[in-house]
Amino acid sequence: MRYKQFVSPTLLDKAKDFLGTEKSYRKTVRLQQRSLVYDDRQDHPLAERGAALAHSSVWRWLSWLGGLTRTCQKACQLISQKDPHSTLHREVIPIDPRKYRGEEGCPRHRVLQRAGRMLLVEAVFQQRFGKRIFPLFATGCGWR
């Protein structure tokens, strides 16, 4: 994918790690007190210089996930067609108030909720269909 430096399992794992724990952005990009760096076996300028994953990448990933509303809606439609008794549409995605500034419902809170919803839908989609949403299904939805 153009402009995407990390594969979807890494992106989804770090997004879940941030939303599902009390970790900050900076702690999310570290593993056992060490920075996550590009694989130096890659032929990529960032890998060659041993660049570390920036904490701001997690916010960019969450913003991107939170913006995939069409993909999320279409996946939910397929899930409800396969399982009409699914309660996925009723699931509330709790976001720790320390993850955003301002009131509940502020723009950052909404983005984090939509990103959390996308992560939940992706997990249910994979469980029901045995396939992941990323990248093929999301590509078919136009990455929106």
Q: Domain range holding 49?
A: 8-140
SS3 31: strand
Instruction: Say how many CA atoms lie within 13 Å of 57 toward its Cβ.
Output: 21
Is residue 2 in a domain? no
| Separation of CA 60 from chain center | 9
How buried is residue 97: exposed, middle or buried, by Cβ count under 10 Å (0-12/13-18/19+)? Answer: exposed
C-beta of residue 125 within 8 angstroms of C-beta of residue 138: no
Share of the chain above pLDDT 90, in %: 44
Give the span between the Cα atoms of 65 and 134, in whole angstroms.
Answer: 11
Is residue 3 in a domain? no
Is residue 20 in a domain? yes
Is residue 1 in a domain? no
pLDDT for 6-49, tens place per residue? Answer: 567 888 999 999 999 999 998 888 877 766 655 555 565 554 55
Q: pTM of this prediction?
A: 0.83
Is residue 13 in a domain? yes
pLDDT for 82-94, tens place per residue? Answer: 999 999 988 888 8
In total, how many domains does the chain have? 1
pLDDT for 128-141, tens place per residue? Answer: 999 999 888 888 88
